[in-house]
Every structure is written in C-alpha cells, then in structure tokens.
Amino acid sequence: MIILEPPIDIGRDQAAAEAAEELSKSAYRQSGDSLIERALSKVIEWIADLMGSLSGTSPGGHAGLYMLIGLIILIAIVVLWRAGVLRTSQRIKGQAVFDTARPRRAAEYRAQAEREAAGGDYALAVRSRFRACVAELTERTILDERAGRTAYEVVADAGRAVPSLRDPLQPAALAFTEVVYGNRPGTPERYAVVVAADNAARTAKALVQA
C-alpha cells in the first residue's frame, strides 16, 4: 500500500522565519565576526525569496523543499570553512609550535609577546606567548627538546609529566592553533588564556619518578 504524504505549502513569511531560525543557531553565530553575520543576513533574505517563489510555483513543494535543505547545508559548510571552524579541526593539528629548529629562550618570547600585546596585535602576542610557555617547559626539563611538536602534543606530553598543567594548557593550545593556523582573530581574551598557561608553566614541577 502506498502512503501519500500531504503536500507541503510554505508561504514567504513562514519560509523566512524557518530559514532565519536555522541559520541563526549558535553554531553559526560563533563561526565568525560581523562580516560573517552580515553575509548570513543576506543569505537568509535570499533563501526566503527563493522559498517564496518555489512555494508559489510548485504545488507539492517537495522538490523545492529538498533542494533548499541541500542549499542551506552547503551554505553552512562554506561559512564554517571560511570562518576557520572546520579548518581548525582538520588542518591545524599537524602544525608545529615553532617555525625553527632552534627556538629562542622563553624570556625572549615572553618579552616579545608583551610588546605585541601592548601594541594591540593580539594574534602575534598569542603566538609568541604560547611559544614562551613551551620554551619555559623545555627549559625546566618538563618537555624534551623535540622539533616539530604541535600544540596538542605539548598538552599531552606536559600533562603526563605534570598532570596539573593539562587544564591551563588545553585552552591555550586551542587559542594558539585557532589564531596561528585557523585564521581566527587574536583577542585580549585568547591572549589572557595563553598568559595563564605560561604562568602555570613557570611554577610547574615535574613528577619525581620512583
């Protein structure tokens, strides 16, 4: 027996409301800055217009509805990719903290970060301060001198040596990778997270092996 679904009739106002509700969810609101939000507003208007025209020309509405669902998914993927959210999870985990085989001293990175933060360049400040944190852990022999170590490997390796470092290092590693390799903006809040991790590194003590 074939069960027929009732026809879907979506008006312009209802289409606009549903599109706005879908694209204004928290996952999209957190995907970028004001430029992304303005682009989403334009997309919502365009989808509302398209849904209104399709509901008027397609009595059943099924084909048009399925096509629009696909368009919304595609647009969401493009927006999240351009904002760096998807790239953060797929690309940046393979990127090293240092861009040289001979890193500088922690104090040098720290002083550089403070100058950059004072000048308002928080993207560079986040990078330099996290490097100061990793250099500090190396100088204190909590980490060994291994070239190519990523921010997430810093968390894992330092966390094994000093478990109390995991909590401050995890958000700092995320801030570093988002800003340096994920095209996310440097902010005072992200910088403060990295400063907290660096301060924790300066007082950490490795576990004594029995």
| pLDDT tens profile 39-62 | 666 666 766 666 666 555 555 556
| Residue boundaries of the structural domains of the chain | 12-83, 96-203
Is pTM beyond 0.75 here?
no
Please check the confidence at residue 6 and state whether its pLDDT lies above 60.
Answer: no
Confidence of residue 76 (pLDDT cuts 50, 70, 90): confident
Mean pLDDT comparison of 63-77, 94-108, 120-134, highest-scoring range: 120-134
24 by Cβ neighbours in 10 Å (0-12 / 13-18 / 19+) ranks as middle
What is the C-alpha to C-alpha distance for residues 85 and 190, in angstroms, rounded to an integer?
16
79 or 132, higher pLDDT: 132
What is the C-alpha to C-alpha distance for residues 38 and 42, in angstroms, rounded to an integer?
7
Residue 165 phi, psi (nearest 5): -80, -15
E-strand stretches of 101-193: none
Q: CA 16: distance to chain centroid?
A: 29
Q: State the pLDDT at residue 178.
A: 94
